[in-house]
Amino acid sequence: MALHPVIERVTDRIRQRSATGRAAYLARVARAAEDGPRRTHLSCSNQAHAYAAMDDKQDFATTRRPNIGIVTAYNDMLSAHQPYEHYPELIRRAAHAAGATAQVAGGVPAMCDGVTQGRAGMELSLFSRDVIALAATVAMSHDAYDAAVWLGICDKIVPGLVIAAATAGHVPAVFLPGGPMPSGLPNDEKARVRQEFAAGHIGREALMAAEMASYHAPGTCTFYGTANSNQMLMEFMGLQLPGSSFVNPGTPLREALTAAGVHRAAEITALGPDYTPVSAILDERALVNGIVGLMATGGSTNHVIHLPAMARAAGILLDLQDFHEISAVVPLLARVYPNGLADVNHFHAAGGLGFMIAQLLDAGLLHGDVRTIVGPGLDRYRREPRLTDGRAEWVAGARETLNDRILRPMAAPFAATGGLHMLTGNLGRAVIKVSAVKPELHVIEAPSRIFTDQAQVKAAFQAGELTSDCVVVVRFQGPRANGMPELHTLTPLLSVLLDRGLRVALLTDGRMSGASGKVPAAIHCTPEAAAGGPLAQLRDGDVLRLDAITGTLDCLTPGFADRPAAPADLSANQEGLGRELFALFRANASAADEGASVLF
């Protein structure tokens, strides 16, 4: 199937826009690779330090066995990352079986957005991505690894690791997932309980019981938020083994997939005939494939920030317009909570990513001519793994959906477009995800209610002040203001207002969680209020129009742009839980539509 003309046009535009930066990046990578395997240039003293704790250091120092670096985001506070505790031992065994060695090169921080939602720690969340990238780069700075395996799953962690992997672009990179926890309390029931609590109909004991039944075991949370969107991206972009994203932890197939990933890392080093550095994989075609996957699955809005940051690490410039145009031609093929009732285990069982990639390839919506960690061509990702005599082997994936309420073919999508739109107007640029929003709420025109943090919105709700149609504006939530926290704790109470028959929307220069759903929300508004954006000129009662159909975002009140900007009182965001140390990040962060990063 010929490539869809819109996909081809957007890719060409990205290539042209990025020509100078991409050429400089590839030249830098080439210089790093030109002397062959880097560790062969370490002095005897350098090598002795590097291998002092290895059991087989003498053999390793005198042979050309590949050495694999392990960069791990393990901690046992994140359920998704708890399975990584024993991965280094497994990886070392698999490396030895493949004629290689492996060392933990370093660890990176990994925070849980589920724990920090609505808390001060959430103001460090987005910036933790850049910290992870920096820490992982330190791990790779020993220059002693012929390939690296990257252990990360959750929200900011995978993007941070990708940035680091791209920076060390001459080194092959294989991402090893951990898999989702088994299905627990159905996601729609969890959402219902949260709304009942927000409305004051049930107590905290019932809420706690529902939450514990939802998040109940090691593994990724089973809704389709940023963490599971990360796993999808790594497959669509060719950095992870086919079909490996959603295999549960602690299963024989999960362990076999980890071993297979290590074997592949050993095979693609510069010491062998199939050298595949990450720079050869992570190009504009892979990034476009990732955006297509994001739209087809109804993935997290957080990746409208993360993908541009990852791209810049590889010398590539993405723009919101790229996302918007791709979304317009990529149909929604999956319904996974919060876009539907199913979880990622159900999605995987229905045919999963292999079925979806096959459908999109056959429709010309994906670049098939890419390089991946398993070889040339995305066709390899039509396959899915099976366990045979304790080893992972790949067979043809599902050719038909096994549950059309969860996963559909191109001929009968859930929606004709991906559901992610760019909004532009006199309030700036923003993003809206409508895949779970009722069609009658795709356009909201209503008076504004202005707030400067989530607590103010909650107080107004509890005081019974939100009783009419309105656009709830939460400003001074951008990266330069307070680190751009997610505002997910607003979802239950805004959902209550919708259930009461009100027409309500959210407008913010902050983020929503990857689990955001039925509330129409214009987010990532740029320029942000703290950087002179027009949100700072709004007042209570201004009539705002959010139109996801025409892609517009405007204040209809005459003269609003002539007002002085409201002052930003950010004193409460400057200290506590280490926020003092992140002042440098807040002062230097780029805009949300450029990746909200201090690194580029």
pLDDT per position as a tens digit, 342-393: 999 999 999 999 999 999 999 999 999 999 999 999 999 999 999 999 999 9
- Read off φ and ψ for residue 253, nearest 5 degrees: -65, -40
Residue 206 is predicted with a pLDDT of 87
Residue 208 is predicted with a pLDDT of 85
Distance CA 334, CA 415 (A): 9
Distance CA 317, CA 21 (A): 8
The residue behind tokens 């670049």 is 367
490-510 pLDDT, tens digit each: 998 999 999 999 999 999 999
Closest CA to 78 of 114, 123, 117: 114
Distance CA 600, CA 597 (A): 6
Residue 4 pLDDT level (bands cut at 50, 70, 90): very high
Residue 42 is predicted with a pLDDT of 76
> Which structure tokens are listed for 550?
């025409």
Residue 50 is predicted with a pLDDT of 76
The percent of residues above 90 in pLDDT, for the chain, comes to 83
Residue 62 has pLDDT above 70, yes or no: no
Q: Half-sphere exposure of residue 378, counting CA atoms within 13 Å on the CB side? A: 29
The percent of residues above 70 in pLDDT, for the chain, comes to 97
416-441 pLDDT, tens digit each: 999 899 999 999 999 999 988 999 99
Distance CA 393, CA 380 (A): 12
Q: Which residues are annotated as a binding site for [4Fe-4S] cluster?
A: 154, 221
Residue 532 is predicted with a pLDDT of 94
Residue 45 has pLDDT above 90, yes or no: no
CATH code 3.50.30.80 region(s) in the chain: 420-594
Residue 534 is predicted with a pLDDT of 98
Residue 551 has pLDDT above 80, yes or no: yes
Q: Which residues are annotated as a binding site?
A: 154, 221
Helix or strand (DSSP H, E) at 553: strand 552-555
Residue 235 has pLDDT above 80, yes or no: yes
Closest CA to 507 of 553, 550, 548, 469: 553
Closest CA to 175 of 262, 254, 275: 262
- The least confident of 103-107, 418-422, 523-527, 596-600 is 418-422
Residue 256 is predicted with a pLDDT of 98
The residue behind tokens 């993405």 is 318
Q: What is the mean pLDDT of the chain?
A: 94
322-347 pLDDT, tens digit each: 999 999 999 999 999 888 889 999 99
Residue 186 pLDDT level (bands cut at 50, 70, 90): confident
Largest CA distance in the chain: 77
- The least confident of 158-172, 174-188, 420-434 is 174-188
Closest CA to 474 of 492, 490, 497: 490
The architecture that CATH gives domain 420-594 is 3-Layer(bba) Sandwich (3.50)
Residue 175 is predicted with a pLDDT of 98
Radius of gyration of the chain (CA): 24
**Measured between alpha carbons, how far is residue 320 from residues 14, 175, 306, 335, 399 in Å?**
11, 27, 12, 24, 33
> Which structure tokens are listed for 435?
């895949």
